[in-house]
Chains A and B, each alone.
Chain A
Amino acid sequence: MSSAFASSRTNGSEIVKELAFFAVVALLMSVMILGVETVDRPTGLELAVRWDLVLLAIGSTVVGRLALIIRRESISRLVQAVLITITAVAVFEMFVRFRDMDDRWASPVSFDMALSSAVSSVVALAFIAIVFAIAYFSMKEKGVVEVEESEKLSSKIQLAYRSNTKKIGLVGIIFFIIFPFIFGENRSAIDLATLVMIYIMLGWGLNIVVGLAGLLDLGYVAFYAVGAYSYALLSQNFDLSFWLCLPLAGIFAASFGIILGFPVLRLRGDYLAIVTLGFGEIIRVVLINWYDLTGGPDGISSIERPSFFGLADFSRRVPEGTIGFNELFGMEYSSMHRLIFLYYLILALALVTNFVTMRLRKLPIGRAWEALREDEIACRSLGINPTNTKLSAFAIGAMFGGFAGAFFATRQGFISPESFTFLESAVILAIVVLGGMGSQIGVVLAAIVMIGFPEMFRELAEYRMLIFGAGIVAIMLWRPRGLLSFRDPTILLNMSQKEKVAGELK
């Protein structure tokens, strides 16, 4: 280690001072959180100390800081990478021990793993190798020059992405279309994909209101609820089929959007957000308390499942007078048929949402939405009716929320006000904001990150909030305006899209 410091520009005592400072900070932070534990003994609650965890925390902090110092002094990449790897392994140890308290005096977990069997030693080595590779290649050997290089790289990626948005979108669509063929028999994969697709559709719907028209709507889930309940109630009370109720649910949700929008759209910014938040809660409270109509907190159960466009049914025992889907196509009965059909249904609905939004953006109404987001006073001076323009954004966004709600009701077969809490609104809004306001592909990415990942990595559920927090910090640092926050012009006169992007990046 001492040879590594030979070329350092700061002297040794300063570095020791710095390391000591960070060790003290790590001690202060970890001693109460990691160091003390209440243990339930027969004699009562007792405090137990866990000095090993505290020591690990301090040790990994010091080693990590050392890596940063070396990076600052721009010394060998290899040493930095080694130190960062050691830190990562130590942090990993800390978490594993924190979780499994019983064997915390045992030898290091990664060491155990490496010895226990060939497979786990490969896994452990692979983990260490990956961390090392990431650390090694993300290091900057020589400060400033490399910073420019990395900026050049990021602008290259941006150029490639923005001039090929259509192709990327097409690849994405094809992927989602062939998805059931890849995971055809994997029930949980199809279920998860359907769930993600619902949120993609909701995100795209809300994107019209928040991303294009710039109206902060914290109660979007209200329209989702209106769509779900209008399908459930219409189908139960009037025996209407899903295919008839789907447009009706959209119309109901849109009219709720207009009813809400009329009095409140003269409000701006924060005030509008508060009123929409209130509206979302009002809808939920009405759903809970109007027992005669909605069943209150009991919800509505056994909602009719959709038929195959009214031609065939997906149940194992089909009702009188209809034929089963498997009979129609001469296949074996499989419960997966309905799930795959539902998946394709939400995919189609989401794609309709997307294409309508993309088309509207290039129409006068879409341009007026964006203009309104930029400057409302200028819009008025150009003769654009601000109220009607905002209302149309609200109504169209609400309509897609209503479609998604009807789909949700028919998929679940059971709805209750619990599904439409403020948290849902927050998640949908987070998807839109994380994706980058107004970006369609960004919403897809964000929905996968926000909905798909937590489901996929259920084993790590304990760390969900930790990872979530780290993710938020990372996003704020590197992409404060969302993952894909670029606005592409709706019309170009004498430049190609590629030239336009290149010009902006210069």
Chain B
Amino acid sequence: MTDNKLLEVEHLTMRFGGLVAIDNLSFTANKREITAIIGPNGAGKTTVFNCLTGFYVPTEGRLTLHADDGPRLLERTEGFRIPRNNGVARTFQNIRLFTGMTVLENLIVAQHNRLMEASAFSIAGLFNLGRYSRAEKAAIEKAEFWLNKVGLYDQADWNAGNLPYGSQRRLEIARAMCTDPSLLCLDEPAAGLNPRESAELNVLLQSIRDDQGVGCLLIEHDMSVVMQISDHVIVLDYGRKIADGNPEAVKNDPAVIRAYLGEDEDDELPPEVAADLNVDPNAH
């Protein structure tokens, strides 16, 4: 178990002024596994992602990524360096593609850093040296691989903004994968998809896990996705971890049920409030 760790989150706390968005959260995600983070709205799931990918600097805690060549501390890394040097890629809850550029260009922009190095910061590229054209060819091949994988090869030259919604979601995942990540963070990838697209997404994510060997961290409200593909589920509520385990165990955890469905006792209003609202305190 310990040598299989990919991401280790220890005592992560994130405060915005007086608001505690994440409170002393610790969990681990393993290599070659899909770890789902679920929880009611406002539980702090996206905040965890923003801390992991450098959009927020955590107030407290340590985030360790166990890459192939040793552990790295994410909370010490400047925002854009996290995807570049540490291999954490992400997608967004509201899709953020480069809508005016073509599908293929989206995937090539994702390989920016490798191409930039190959073009010697544009100097080799300006004079079209062989070194750059080889790198560009490799980049196109990689993009073609992912286009085939997400089934968008025929739309490669479309503007990304013209794709249907489900295809845009898949393209965003392909774009994240083109950065060669070791950890892929997916923020609600199934939101807005119909059941068939959702099933295709499951296949894609499983293939990313099994064929590419990339660990996934998944925020999702669609339980059919979560329960079918995740190896490990973490449940957050009000920034705290309330359950952690395999999907079956989490599903039957009373704390989780309470968080999602509420507690019977909580439904009962105090008599004086009920009197103010003109409701019978004993009726539910």
Contact indicator A495/B157 (Cβ below 8 Å)? yes
Chain A's interface size range is 20 to 34
Answer whether residue B108 sits at the interface, using C-beta atoms and an 8 A cutoff.
Answer: yes
Contact indicator A370/B98 (Cβ below 8 Å)? yes
Given contacts A360-B122, A363-B125, A363-B126, contact A374 B100 (CB under 8 A): yes
Answer whether residue A466 sits at the interface, using C-beta atoms and an 8 A cutoff.
Answer: no
Q: B126 contacts which chain A residues (CB < 8 A)?
A: 356, 359-360, 363
Answer whether residue B115 sits at the interface, using C-beta atoms and an 8 A cutoff.
Answer: yes
- CB contacts under 8 Å to A, within B149-189, are 153-154, 156-159, 175-176, 179
Q: B82 contacts which chain A residues (CB < 8 A)?
A: 383
Of the candidates B55, B110, B125, the one whose C-beta lies within 8 Å of that of A382 is: B110
Contact indicator B109/A494 (Cβ below 8 Å)? no
Of the candidates A364, A491, A495, the one whose C-beta lies within 8 Å of that of B119 is: A364
Contact indicator A487/B100 (Cβ below 8 Å)? yes
Given contacts A363-B126, A371-B98, A371-B109, contact A383 B53 (CB under 8 A): no
Q: A494 contacts which chain B residues (CB < 8 A)?
A: 153-154, 156-157
Name the residue among A356, A378, A386 with the largest chain B CB count within 10 angstroms: A378
Minimum Cβ distance to chain A for residue B184 (Å): 11
Answer whether residue B281 sits at the interface, using C-beta atoms and an 8 A cutoff.
Answer: no
Of the candidates A364, A375, A493, A500, the one whose C-beta lies within 8 Å of that of B97 is: A375
Minimum Cβ distance to chain B for residue A247 (Å): 16
Contact indicator A367/B109 (Cβ below 8 Å)? yes
Answer whether residue A365 sits at the interface, using C-beta atoms and an 8 A cutoff.
Answer: yes
Of the candidates B53, B116, B175, the one whose C-beta lies within 8 Å of that of A365 is: B116
Contact indicator A381/B92 (Cβ below 8 Å)? yes
Of the candidates A371, A381, A495, the one whose C-beta lies within 8 Å of that of B101 is: A371
Segment among B12-20, B83-91, B217-225, B260-268 that sits at the interface with chain A: B83-91
Contact indicator B125/A364 (Cβ below 8 Å)? yes
Minimum Cβ distance to chain B for residue A95 (Å): 43
Minimum Cβ distance to chain A for residue B27 (Å): 22
- CB contacts under 8 Å to B, within A481-496, are 487, 489-495
Q: Interface digits, A234-250 against B, CB 8 Å rule (1 contact, 0 not)?
A: 00000000000000000
Name the residue among A368, A370, A380 with the largest chain B CB count within 10 angstroms: A380
Distance, CA A364 to CA B90, complexed state (A) = 21
Answer whether residue A504 sits at the interface, using C-beta atoms and an 8 A cutoff.
Answer: yes
Contact indicator A492/B102 (Cβ below 8 Å)? yes
Distance, CA A363 to CA B129, complexed state (A) = 12
Given contacts A356-B126, A384-B80, contact A491 B140 (CB under 8 A): yes
Distance, CA A489 to CA B85, complexed state (A) = 29
Please provide the 4 A-B residue pairs with the shortest distance between their CB atoms, ordered closest to farther. Answer: A383-B84, A383-B83, A364-B115, A374-B98
13 example contacts (A-B, Cβ-Cβ < 8 A) are as follows A364-B109, A364-B115, A364-B122, A365-B121, A367-B105, A368-B116, A374-B100, A379-B80, A379-B109, A382-B175, A383-B85, A487-B101, A491-B108
